[in-house]
Amino acid sequence: MNDVSIKPTVLILCTGNSCRSHMAEGILKSVAGDLLDVQSAGSDPAGYVHPMAIEALNEIGIDISGNTSKHMNLFLEQDVETVITVCGNADQACPTYPGQVRRYHWPFFDPAKAEGSEEEIREKFRVVRDEIQRVFSAYGLGRLDSAVG
């Protein structure tokens, strides 16, 4: 096997692996999926991907409907180049992975905890999606620039 073809793994962690980490995974894959193996997981996975997270990404042309909620320990036996935590609980619970070079903590509000009408909650998912898109698009573009340059 040609080692050059192996993409570095970026693992995005949150507690439930139902909203934020999946939105970040979908956005980063859309920007830098040709360069990076982007995965997400949780320290206490919810067991599902939140329907409003799927809907919020569909609105910007990204399909995460096939994603599944996974435990972060599934990745302990493989090289993970970069770990990005998107909530405080996951940042505290996060182990060090084999091959880990970088670790970032970029927290976002958990839209699954939003209260209000269905439309108000949906709007909170959009706000968090847009924040995640700004951060993870910039990160992905930076990774692409450094790979080319």
CA 117 to CA 114: how far, in whole Å? 9
Cβ(26)–Cβ(60) below 8 Å: no
Cβ count within 10 A of residue 47: 13
SS3 2: coil
Q: Which of 94, 112, 128, 135 is catalytic?
A: 94
Q: Is 14 a catalytic residue?
A: yes
**Residue in 87, 90, 128, 135 annotated catalytic:** 87
- Active-site option among 12, 13, 14, 38: 14
Give the integer Cα–Cα distance in Å for 25 and 9. 11
Got the DSSP string for 128-139?
A: HHHHHHHHHHHH
Q: Does residue 19 have an active-site annotation?
A: no
Residue type present at position 131: E
User: Which active-site residues does the annotation give?
Assistant: 14, 87, 94
